[in-house]
Structure 1
Amino acid sequence: MRISSMRCAAVGAGAMLLVASVAAMGQKKGKDYDGTAIATVLHDANVYVASDAEAQKISLVTPGHEIQIVERSGPWVKVFANTDINDDANEDDRNKPEFGEDANVTPASGWIRDKGILGPGTAGGDVILFGSAANFEDEAERPHAPKGAAEEAHLLYKRVAEYFPDSPLAAEAAWRAADIRWQLDKVDISTLPSAKEQEAYLRPQIYEGELKKVMKTYPGSEFAARAAFDLLDNKMCGDWQGLPKCPEMETGLYVKYAQQYGDGPKAAEALYNAVYRQGVVVTMYLVQEDKKRSEEAAKRTQALAMDLKARYPKSEFAARGASIAFRVSQGIAIYGSDRD
Structure 2
Amino acid sequence: MLGVATAADLLRLLVLPGFAWAAYRDIRTRRVASSLWLPLLAIGALALVIDATAAFPFDGYAGRLFLVRVGFSIVFLVPFSVLAYRMAAFGGADMKALVVLAVAFPTTPAYVVPLWILPDVTWLHTVGFPVHPSTLGVTAMSALTNAVLFGAGYVALLFASNVAAGRFSPAMVVGRWTGVEDLPEVHGQLIRVGGLRPERGLDLDALRMYLRWRGTTLATVRDDPDRHRDPASVGETRPPTDGAVHDGPRTDGGVDDGGFEFPESDAGPSGIDDAGDRTTDAGAEADAAGDTDDPWAAERFLDEIEGTAYGTTPETLREGLDRVVAEDALWVSPGLPFLVPLFGGLVLALTYGDVLTVALGALGLV
- With the length of structure 1 as denominator, give the TM-score of the two structures: 0.23
TM-score w.r.t. structure 2 length? 0.22
Which entry has the higher C-alpha Rg, 1 or 2?
Answer: 2
Higher relative contact order (CA 8 A, sep 6+): 2
- Structure holding more helix per residue: 2
